Structure 1
Amino acid sequence: MKRRQLICLAVAAAVLPAAASAQDAAMTVHKDPYCGCCGAWASAYRMAGYKVEARDEEDMDAFKARLKVPKEVHGCHTGVVDGYYLEGHVPLEAAEKLLRERPALAGLAVAGMPKGSLGMGTDPEASYDVMAVPRDGSTPYVYMAVRPS
């Protein structure tokens, strides 16, 4: 039993600091002042422990252009956290993986406003892709697929 406890403690020590640093990250959510789902998405991150500040933007297209978010992956709002952007309804699991692994990406994106994505209600049949956007401007690719269980 003692060996098992030691292994559990070692695993927890290796995993917890990475998770805590991701969740302690400060995030700025840039959003349309008239959108409700943006606030729901930001609240989910806040409840997960992120320090979230919301900023209303009058011209989201101009803001996304400054960050070089490809038009084909535009979502509703844009979160900026720890040198990455989270475009649209990116789920918590994808953001935590991004912040833990620190790949050479500009950010992650969920194009459009998929039904059942974070901030867009609950739908057990939700199916959408989280796209990785490389820093070098190459083609975005699927980082995480969200599919019904």
Structure 2
Amino acid sequence: MSSLHSDRDYAVTKSEHEWRAQLTPQEFHVLREAGTERPFSGEYEDDETVGVYACRACGAELFASETKFASHCGWPSFYTPLAGDSVEYLEDRSLPGRPRVEVRCANCGSHLGHVFEGEGYQTPTDQRFCINSISLTLRPAE
């Protein structure tokens, strides 16, 4: 599997070698190769700490804990990003017959997870941002 590339210019850009030096092999696989951590294995899936979730690759703030909810899907779920421009969306057709919307950090282009809509979520947006824990770092509120 090759690393993510986009035609977009990101604020944080590094070579594949630089990303590999910064990230663990598992972090690199998820963040830079659009991998997925095993369900129910991530450190933030059930975490209820108040704070802000940032991109593990570049530190950009992505999600507020106030928008996190228990979807019981195996990954941390949020109903909206911290700011509208903090994430970007790409069409993902990697699963045959099941198109999805990939969510990436708008600051560095790292893969975060996917967003799902209209599945009956009891949230203000009727969306579920299904995000890999390994893509995030929690900054607890003071």
TM value normalised by structure 2? 0.25
The higher radius of gyration belongs to 1
Q: TM-score, normalised by structure 1?
A: 0.24
Q: Which has the higher helix share?
A: 1
